Amino acid sequence: MGRKEISCSWKKNTSNIKEVFDFKAKMGSGSFSDVYMVREKSTGNLYALKCLRKKYLMLSNLENEIKVLRRIKHDNVVKLEDFYESRTHYYLVMELVSGGELFDRILERGVYTEKDASSVILQVLQAVSYLHENSIVHRDLKPENLLFYDTDENAKIMISDFGLSKISDHGVMSTACGTPGYVAPEVLSQKPYSKAVDCWAIGVITYILLCGYPPFFEENETRLFNKIMRADYAFHAPYWDDISESAKDFIKNMMQKNPTQRFTTEEALVHPWITGKTARSQDICQSVCEQLRRNFAKSKWKVSD
């Protein structure tokens, strides 16, 4: 059966990727891909190599991811460095990000405050604002796509996984996609939607960062989607008792049911909770970590591809 090939001028062909890279360690795997830490033989540089098996691949998704990544240059977005093809695989050579996932780092910290959460969300907003300025909508923002650059205590946050992202020059999309729990009401209502879906997801992530559990939780997906479509969430006692009103105000504005009333990234970036004026310094680590362990066991949130 003939296959359509990805055509791009800078793609490199190889009969054996191990002639180009030394494979150091496996970093992760998904249904159709594996990610390895590799060292490029010619330069000695370390990268993350995403190995995608051709026979399982939707080429349109990969083409889209490459097109988006080639357009992006931002300090808080994982860079695509190179692209190889063999007879059986495509290989994305990505900037190496070694600091681990957002939740893992919080669980390891020992001390964690609203100010820490605010700092994370500030960086996410700066990156997403840049994407939106360049007509790119991520469409799948969630905690496991937020990684720390390295293991340094003050490491920056990096946004990864642009498999569902979209270049939307006209501003309106209609394909239902994303991860249940982070998807905006307008997507579930099967209405045309815009970059405001990313702002909703940032609101959901902020909520989780401050209490350790999701704003919408139902075992039954239909009930979950109905709750999201109604924007039916609350700040429950005692988990939210020590969280500032400013943080709650920020979340309410990010999680407005009506996308036209929802904060844009520009509005979010000047909110006092994000600028650091009102985020509290009180340690909330114990309460948040307890809930993270209960609600986000690795098996539940670990879906990488």
**Where in the sequence numbering do the catalytic residues fall?**
140
Secondary structure (3-state) at 53 = strand
Q: How far is CA 97 from CA 40, 48, 64, in A?
A: 16, 8, 22
Question: Residue 22 is inside which H or E element, if any?
Answer: strand 21-29
Q: What is the DSSP letter of 278?
A: S
Strand partners, 161: none
The rounded distance, in Å, linking the Cα atoms of 97 and 158 is 8
Q: Cα separation of 275 and 215, whole Å? A: 24
Under 8 Å between Cβ of 184 and 259? yes
Q: Is the peptide bond before 238 cis (omega within 30 degrees of 0)?
A: yes
Q: Which two tokens stand for residue 144?
A: 């496991």
Query: Which residues have CB under 8 Å from 152's CB, separation 6+?
Result: 99
Tokens 């994000």, residue?
274
Q: For residue 84, list its beta bridge partners.
A: 12, 91
**What is the residue whose two structure tokens read 């999701």?**
214
Amino acid 37 reads: M
Residue pair 224/304 in contact by the 8 Å Cβ criterion = no
